[in-house]
Amino acid sequence: MAAFCAVLSLGSGRCARRMLRWPRASARVSIRTAAHFTFQADPEPTEYGPTQKMNLFQSVHSALDNTLAKDPSAVIFGEDVAFGGVFRCTVGLRDKYGKDRVFNTPLCEQGIVGFGIGVAVAGATSIAEIQFADYIFPAFDQIVNEAAKYRYRSGDLFDCGSLTIRAPWGCVGHGALYHSQSPEAFFAHCPGVKVVIPRSPIQAKGLLLSCIEDQNPCIFFEPKILYRAAVEQVPVEPYHIPLSQAEILQEGSDVTLLSWGTQVHVVREVADMAQEKLGLSCEVIDLRTILPWDIETVCKSVTKTGRLLISHEAPVTGGFASEISSTVQEECFLNLEAPIARVCGYDTPFPHMFEPFYIPDKWKCFDALKKMMNY
């Protein structure tokens, strides 16, 4: 028997201590050890040369290493990046390339991005790290009112297009309200920046290198739950994956499933479940670039299938699924066989102990899919 001490508040304001006893078995707290998704690796690419087994943080490290080796003007900076960062994405780079090219900053996101803009305007390749996407908000003004508008307000005399902002993003299983957020929709409302989210190590390296070399400031969100959980054979040499091009991972004819980042692996499982349990053929699309997004690929798919389910971790109200839904409704109205479904996070702060209930897991997506098919 295990004894628990409960403090009960009495009406008189006094506290009474009572010993309450429960069987030890009922006092055990169950620990959730399984992730809400199963990572599905892509086939080993053959067109980019030799490959090496890497997880996602190692593929990001490889992209940064390639950039520093190729571009003598490239600099990496942020909180704790000199020793490798909290997720080890920059480990060893200061020793390899010097403290003038990989260095720490004060704990000031507004200052990190403001400095990054200045470095980019001066002509260097500027790679800023925000330690968690949840803490990008102090830099919101610098991103939205400075970086995004620099070229426009100067009539193209000046720009900070060589600025890339990296940030770990999304839920991780235990991050709670300050280490689990998905803020991509805030920046999707801002012309002048590009917003990119990869689903895997192969995608992460190719898309990050494309962001770094793009002539517009880019925000690159990295799904932190995949840093170690996702492992693929990644090309060692530099390669590029085009921005603003969605990828069709699985062709289908009955319904289109659209997502990005970690949630791609959730909807891939949903597609398998739909095939096995309902005999449905699902088309699965990874959007990859949030802004500017690939309207043509998505609308072409929905025109074919007649149904669309969009899923993301961020809250449903004002989430980027709303923009996609609105655009598809305008472009594909006569082809739709059912209302567009959005399976997203709730309109609450991201919870800690209730994360399993908050996440738009495969069962929520599968239930929404069945409702669409029965419409």
Q: What is the CATH number of the domain that holds 58?
A: 3.40.50.970
Q: Is 3 inside a domain boundary?
A: no
Looking at the structure, do residues 62 and 181 belong to the same domain, yes or no?
yes
Among 36, 61, 146, 179, the active-site one is: 179
Query: So what's the pLDDT on residue 231?
Result: 98
3-state secondary structure of 220: strand
Looking at the structure, do residues 88 and 230 belong to the same domain, yes or no?
yes
Looking at the structure, do residues 219 and 254 belong to the same domain, yes or no?
no
Instruction: Tell me the mean pLDDT in the region 258-274.
Output: 98
Q: Is 147 inside a domain boundary?
A: yes
Q: Is 34 inside a domain boundary?
A: no
Is 44 assigned a catalytic role? Answer: no
Looking at the structure, do residues 134 and 220 belong to the same domain, yes or no?
yes
Tell me if 301 sits within 8 A of 294, measured CB to CB: no
- What contacts 24+ positions apart, CB below 8 Å, involve 22-26? none
Q: Is 37 inside a domain boundary?
A: no
Instruction: Tell me the mean pLDDT in the region 235-239.
Output: 98
Is 109 assigned a catalytic role? Answer: yes
Handedness of CA 54, 112, 241, 225 (dihedral sign): positive
Q: Is the per-residue pLDDT at 22 higher than 60?
A: no
Looking at the structure, do residues 321 and 348 belong to the same domain, yes or no?
yes
Query: So what's the pLDDT on residue 318?
Result: 97
Domain termination residue (choose one: 212, 235, 258): 235
Write b or e for each residue in 324-349: b if 16 or more Cβ atoms lie within 10 A of its Cβ, otherwise e.
bbeebeebbeeebeeebbbbbbeeee
Q: Is 295 inside a domain boundary?
A: yes
Asked whether the bond before 242 is cis by omega within 30 degrees of 0, the reply is: no
Query: So what's the pLDDT on residue 236?
Result: 98
Angstrom distance (rounded) from CA 58 to CA 327: 36
Residue 123: is it exposed, middle or buried by C-beta count within 10 angstroms (0-12/13-18/19+)?
exposed
- Tell me what the pLDDT averaged over the chain comes to: 92
- Provide the β-strand partners of residue 168: 222
Q: Is 26 inside a domain boundary?
A: no
Domain termination residue (choose one: 235, 266, 301): 235
Looking at the structure, do residues 228 and 267 belong to the same domain, yes or no?
no
Joined together, the tokens standing for residue 45 give 């690419």
> pLDDT tens across 165-204, in order?
999 999 998 999 999 999 999 999 999 999 999 999 999 9
CATH of the domain at 288: 3.40.50.920
Angstrom distance (rounded) from CA 144 to CA 191: 8
Looking at the structure, do residues 213 and 281 belong to the same domain, yes or no?
no
Instruction: Tell me the mean pLDDT in the region 73-84.
Output: 98
Looking at the structure, do residues 154 and 128 belong to the same domain, yes or no?
yes
3-state secondary structure of 327: helix
Query: So what's the pLDDT on residue 15?
Result: 39
Query: So what's the pLDDT on residue 1?
Result: 36
Tell me if 172 sits within 8 A of 134, measured CB to CB: no
Could you list the residue range(s) of the whole structural domain that residue 329 is in? 248-373
Rg, C-alpha atoms of the chain: 23
Angstrom distance (rounded) from CA 222 to CA 239: 18
Q: Is 39 inside a domain boundary?
A: no
pTM over 0.85: yes
Looking at the structure, do residues 128 and 221 belong to the same domain, yes or no?
yes
Query: So what's the pLDDT on residue 193?
Result: 98
Q: Is the per-residue pLDDT at 328 higher than 50?
A: yes
Q: How many residues does the chain have?
A: 375
User: Taking the C-alpha atoms of 268, 59, 321 and 146 in order, what is their torsion angle to the nearest 10 degrees?
Assistant: 180
Strands (E), 281-367: 282-286, 289-291, 308-315, 341-345
Q: How many CB atoms lie within 10 A of CB 356?
A: 12
**C-alpha to C-alpha distances, 146 to 113, 117, 142, 291, nearest whole angstrom:** 10, 8, 5, 17
Query: So what's the pLDDT on residue 324?
Result: 98
Domain count, the chain: 2
3-state secondary structure of 309: strand
Looking at the structure, do residues 211 and 276 belong to the same domain, yes or no?
no
Strands 102-104 and 75-78: parallel
Name residue 211's amino acid: C
Looking at the structure, do residues 143 and 178 belong to the same domain, yes or no?
yes
Domain termination residue (choose one: 172, 202, 235): 235
Tell me if 323 sits within 8 A of 330, measured CB to CB: no
Confidence of residue 26 (pLDDT cuts 50, 70, 90): very low
Among 36, 61, 79, 109, the active-site one is: 109
Q: Is 359 inside a domain boundary?
A: yes
Instruction: Tell me the mean pLDDT in the region 299-306.
Output: 98
**Which of 244, 245, 247, 268 lies closest to 257 in space, CA to CA?**
268
Confidence of residue 19 (pLDDT cuts 50, 70, 90): very low
Looking at the structure, do residues 189 and 255 belong to the same domain, yes or no?
no
